[in-house]
Structure 1
Amino acid sequence: MAYYRQVGSVPPKRHTQHRRPDGGLYSEELVGEEGFSSDSSLLYHRGIPSSLVDARPWTLPDQSLTPNQPLIPRHLKLHDLFPKAEQDAVTGRRLVLGNADVRISYSVSESPSPFYRNATGDECVFVERGAATVETVFGALDVKRNDYIVIPRNTTHRWLPTGEEALRTYAIEANSHIAPPKRYLSRFGQFLEHSPYCERDLHAPDEPLLAEGTDVEIYVKHRGDGPGGLAGTVHVVPEHPFDVVGWDGCLYPYTFNLADFEPITGRVHQPPPVHQVFEGANFVICNFLPRKVDYHPLAIPVPYYHSNVDSDEVMFYVDGDYEARKGSGIGKGSISLHPGGHSHGPQPGAVQNSLGVEFFDETAVMVDTFRPLSLGEGGTASDDGRYAWTWSGRGPSA
């Protein structure tokens, strides 16, 4: 995210002495992407960020994947996964879908998470319901309903639910970095005029978060030989990880709310790329929001049937009533998986029913992947087993 920020106390020149009030030196840490060839930030620690006093294995939540075979579209009912909100937003995640590029998990939580960092890639977490404070080594961020929070790889953080409503989070974990689409940005990294959002809509920490503590545990997800090429380790550090007195650079966590995305509309139906908000390696993230729809006198507002030749489409239905899925059983908290190799589109009757409609009241988050998705244990557990047959009204037992 090439948008420079400076927070807290930093020296006037990088890689020079930055002294503590007692005359000692702060420890300068470079956090950078792609080696030393992309965005980075410099953090100034009271302690030594490399210090460890203990380490032990962490058994990750089930990361195993089952191929989508036979190849069929699926309806996953995420709200059925958690009868009670007894877990936290990190260790309580249940893997729904995944491949070598991205993993999609869901959790419902009321408890604080442990300190955590994902060393395999960036995370983009969507807050479906509830609110929380996300404390990070860069500072704290408050998140609320319909917020995305983008957390760069290896950022130590924890989730602290706030308020009375359970925190429902939809975690999109990359094996790469997550950023705004390149077509929205100038060659210097500024948002262009045609972008549906801009820098004013992104909210980053604005002051350091300093805490005291000793022998603090940090849960680390990293590359390994477990399912999905992942493993977990608990690092025990001698001093609290939130010891950064200041930082500057272009790499940091930030939030973005759906209310700040300006939908792009047209006289006839607009394709999904106009709804794009972020991208990672081999996947994109889009959001479909309440909006005025097609205004050609003969327009058909719902999508045309389309065959995902190069991608799998995952739609998470957050709010409203998604026009093209009416009659399928899909509702709030549902996921539809439309895999490459299957032509999909409106439910029977949806085209006719949409004629003359001027406004869609729907909120959905879409992830399109360019490699096939498999089912995690949460996806298998929440599959309704009927969705594939809703276009025909018949199933294999009919």
Structure 2
Amino acid sequence: MPYYRSIGSVPPKRHTQHRDAAGDLYYEELMGEEGFSSDSSLLYHRNIPSALADVQPWDLGDTSLTPNSPLRPLHLRLHDLFAPGDAKGVDAVRGRRLVLGNADVRLCYVAADAVSPWYRNAIGDECVYVERGGARLETVFGAFDVREGHYAILPRATTHRWRPLVEGDADYAEPFRAMFVEANSHVGPPRRYLSTHGQLLEHSPYCERDYVVPTAPLLAEDIDEDPRAHTAVHIKHRGTGPSGIGGTIHTAPFHPLDVVGWDGCLYPFLFHISDYEPLTGRVHQPPPTHQVWEGHNFVVCNFVPRKVDYHPLAIPVPYYHSNVDSDEVMFYTDGDYEARKGSGIARGSVSLHPGGHAHGPQPGAMEASLGAERFDETAVMVDTFRPLDLGEGALACDDGRYQWSWTGGEAGTDAPGPGGAR
């Protein structure tokens, strides 16, 4: 986060005494990136943030990854992972299904209606895209009301929990569904959008006014919970097993919402996809035009409703292209994606186009797009610069046929693909 904020009660000078009304010291915690060499915030706790009452292992479930071999483009039906009613009792931390991943990033999906445990990702930032429904996101920096179309950017080690809206809540529309982009790095605006001091520049498709940021501290008593209650925090951290991921539950002898104030340039924020201003041209614009975030060895783009190419001979759908350096994941969340018509892809679908396979419009899509002036589509794309392997979620919802969608048949191989699909 490129700009400074001060929320709640902080002392005039950092690293100096800060006391409550009874004269007791608050405990200052520096939460910083890259050691002490990048963005940071100072949080002022009522309790010693290091205090532990118990430590237990957390079984993360199946975090294994299977190579996409033989190499295939895939269509994954994410809604099949959580059919209607399957969100009952599921929370957005422990209920995630691992879809795709590599050494830099993991893509998970969940449908949930239960309050999650308190959670901290100590591996990297999380970029969460809310596909459907809404939730209250409670963090040690403050709280947010998230809704369909929101990105939530959660810095590494931010303690938080998800409280999905459920039937009976005032703003409830449908169950909460979200994709979690779990990075092994930090996630933020592309560097080309930023000044040397971190301000979003004029050519950026969004600006700081579009961010939703914390406005007040959030304390346990604000949500009618006991500040002195022993509280478990689920931590995802670096591990030594095959997946490189470990899980631990730390129980603190107090409630995690004990931060009376904080200041700095590192904190969670929201950005709504409808505030992204698409760039268009006379001919088809390449995917970097649609970029919204970046992390180490991956980028996030979004495709939103927009006017399209206006050259008199323009072909509005994408040209065929080979991903020489990247795997391309597209999560289709709304509208009609013109280039994929006839492939079976619909809302809730993910396509994986791996490096080494040329891909582009489905047969007939080029001709059908001629003369189009506008595309009504919403999709989130993640491009990775290392190959993506398949998590248990991908193996469970692969349609098994997408690789034939450009030819209309199933000729060419008798060998089953991952998960046994032919």
Q: What's the TM-score, normalizing by structure 2?
A: 0.93
Query: Aligned-pair RMSD on alpha carbons?
Result: 0.9
Cα distance in 2 between the residues matched to 1:93 and 1:256: 22
Cα distance in 2 between the residues matched to 1:307 and 1:28: 51
**Mapping of 1:46-195 within 5 angstroms?**
46-83=46-83, 84-86=86-88, 87-164=90-167, 165-195=174-204
Q: CA deviation at 1:157?
A: 0.3
Q: Is residue 2:347 matched to residue 1:332?
A: yes
Q: CA deviation at 1:163?
A: 4.3
| Amino acid paired to 1:256 | F
The equivalent residue for 2:26 is 26
The equivalent residue for 2:279 is 264
| Amino acid paired to 2:119 | Y
Cα distance in 2 between the residues matched to 1:379 and 1:117: 25
Per-residue CA distance 1:124-176 (angstroms, 9 max, x = gap): 00000011011001011110000000000000000001243210010000000
Q: CA deviation at 1:2?
A: 1.7
Contact 1:61/1:92 (<8 A) preserved: no
Q: Is residue 2:373 matched to residue 1:346?
A: no
Contact 2:308/2:374 (<8 A) preserved: yes
Per-residue CA distance 1:296-340 (angstroms, 9 max, x = gap): 000000000000000000000000010000000000000000000
Contact 1:56/1:234 (<8 A) preserved: yes
The equivalent residue for 2:332 is 317
SS at match of 2:212: coil
Cα distance in 1 between the residues matched to 2:40 and 2:216: 18
Cα distance in 2 between the residues matched to 1:387 and 1:160: 36
| Amino acid paired to 2:177 | R
Match of 1:276 among 277, 291, 294: 291
Cα distance in 1 between the residues matched to 2:166 and 2:108: 23
Q: CA deviation at 1:97?
A: 0.2
Per-residue CA distance 1:212-268 (angstroms, 9 max, x = gap): 142100000001123420010000000111100000000000000011000000000
Cα distance in 2 between the residues matched to 1:112 and 1:198: 32
Contact 1:45/1:244 (<8 A) preserved: yes
Cα distance in 1 between the residues matched to 2:32 and 2:229: 27
Contact 1:61/1:93 (<8 A) preserved: no
Match of 2:394 among 369, 374, 379: 379
Contact 2:113/2:166 (<8 A) preserved: no
Q: Is residue 2:322 matched to residue 1:307?
A: yes
Cα distance in 1 between the residues matched to 2:407 and 2:186: 40
Cα distance in 1 between the residues matched to 2:53 and 2:290: 47
Larger strand percent:
1
Cα distance in 2 between the residues matched to 1:317 and 1:227: 31
| Amino acid paired to 1:96 | V
Unaligned runs of 5+ in 2: 168-173, 221-226, 415-422
Match of 1:356 among 371, 375, 383: 371
Unaligned runs of 5+ in 1: none
Deviates more, 1:212-221 or 1:338-347: 212-221
Aligned-residue sequence identity (percent) comes to: 70
SS at match of 1:97: strand
The equivalent residue for 2:2 is 2
Cα distance in 1 between the residues matched to 2:9 and 2:76: 47
Cα distance in 2 between the residues matched to 1:227 and 1:354: 46
Q: What's the TM-score, normalizing by structure 1?
A: 0.99
Runs of at least 4 residues of structure 1 off by over 4 A?
A: none
Cα distance in 1 between the residues matched to 2:216 and 2:235: 25
Cα distance in 2 between the residues matched to 1:208 and 1:153: 19
The equivalent residue for 1:291 is 306
